[in-house]
Amino acid sequence: MTDLLNSPEDQVFRQEIRDYVAAELHPETRAKVSRGAPLTREDFSRWHKSLHARGWVAPGWPKEHGGPGWTARERIIADEEMFRLHTPPLPGFGLKMIGPILIQFGSPEQQQRFLPRILSGEDWWCQGFSEPGAGSDLASLKTKAVRTEGGWLVSGSKTWTTYAQYANWIFCLVRTDMEVKKQEGISMMLIDMSLPGVSRRPISLMDGTEEVNEIFLDQVFVPDDLVVGEINQGWTYAKALLEHERFGIGGIGRSKQLLQRVREAAEFAGRADEPEIANALDTLEIDIMAIEATTLRLLAAVEAGVKIGAETSLLKVRGTEIQQALTEVMLDIAGPDALPARNSAGAREPFENATYQFLNWRKLSIYGGSNEIQRSILATQVLGLK
C-alpha cells in the first residue's frame, strides 16, 4: 500500500520506529498481534513500560507533560509503523482519554497526582460512561452523586466497561443536579476502584472473551478534590474526551496492517485474483488513503490552533466501517477455515482468529458513540441540516 507520508525525513523517522520495535517488542506478543489473537494484561503492560522508558508512550500529550513532542506527521507515521510491526495497541482510557482531559481541565494537584502514573502504567483506567439505560443517549445517565461533607456519595451502575477487570481507577459521569436540563446536571469524577461500594461483574461476549464488565457503585465516597473541573460541567468535558477518542478510533495504522494481513491470506488461499476479492481490497485501500489524508489535515489544523469538534465523527464512522469491512473480507476468504471447531483442530494459520476478530470488531461501530449518532452529529453540526 502506498504511504502518503514518504519524504526523506519521514523515512528517517520510520526507520527509527522500526529499529526500536525490532529491539524491544516481545516475540510472543508480536506473534499474538500478527494473528489477531486476544491479548493479556502482561502483553499490554510489558509494551507500555518499554514505550514509557523511551518517552514515546503518550504521542498526543504536550512535551511539558511527558509527551515526545512529535508533529502530526510523526504521530501518524508512528501509528502506522507500530501496527505494521504488530505491536499491541495500548488501551487508551488513560493515555488518550482521561490524561488529555486532566491536562486541559484538571487541577494542578490532579495533574501532579495522576499524569505521571498514567505515563508509567502504574494506574490502569477504565471509562464509566455508558449505563444500562444510557448508551448512545448518554445524557440520560442515572448514576447519581449526592452532596455530603467533604465530597459526594455516588450510587448507580455502568456497563460495557472495557478492561475494568484490570483497572484500579475509573473516570465516571454522574448526575449532580436533577433539576436542570439533563446535559447541564452532569459532573465528571475520578473513583478509586478499591473503595468500599465498588464492585464489578464480567460480561461474556459472543467472541468468547470477557473484556467488558458491569460496574456497580453503592454509596461510594468521592472527595471534592477528585471532581474534574467544575460541578455540572461534565458534559463539556465528556464531549472533549470523546473527540480525543474518535481521533484514535479512525485507526489508520490498524486498518493498513489488517489490509496487508487480508491480502496475504488471499494469496495463501489462492483467491487474490478473484475479481470480487481483488475489487473489495482495492476499494478499501483507497478508502484508507482518503481517511489518512483527512486525519492528517485535521491534526495539522489542531496543531495550528484551530478548534476541531464534530469533524472527528467522520473519522470514527469511516474508520470503523473500513475495519469491519476488512474482517468481513477475511471471513469470506477463510470460508470453512473460519469455523472455531476447525481452528481448535489446527486450521491454517492465517485464519485461526478470523471468527474472533470478526465478532469482536462488531463493537467498533457502537462504542465511542454509535455510528448512527455520529451521522446525526455530522448532519447537524457540520452540514447545518435540521
Enumerate the active-site residues.
245
Contact 186, 239 (CB under 8 A): no
Q: 114 pairs with which residues across the strands?
A: none
| Cell, residue 106 | 484538571
Work out the angle at residue 132's Cα, subtended by the Cα atoms of residues 129 and 136, and round it to the nearest 5 degrees.
55
Q: How far is Cα 35 from Cα 323, in angstroms, rounded to an integer?
A: 15
Contacts of residues 237-242 at CB distance under 8 Å and 24 or more positions apart, as own/partner, are 237/101, 237/105, 237/188, 238/129, 238/138, 238/173, 238/186, 238/188, 239/309, 240/100, 240/101, 240/104, 240/105, 241/97, 241/98, 241/100, 241/101, 242/368, 242/369
Q: How far is Cα 236 from Cα 185, in angstroms, rounded to an integer?
A: 11
| Cell, residue 276 | 470480487
What does the chain come to in residues?
A: 386
Q: Residue 163: left (phi > 0), alpha (psi -120 to 50), or beta?
A: left
Q: Which of 89, 92, 79 is nearest to 43 (CA)?
A: 89
Q: How far is Cα 106 from Cα 122, in angstroms, rounded to an integer?
A: 19
The DSSP code for 176 is -
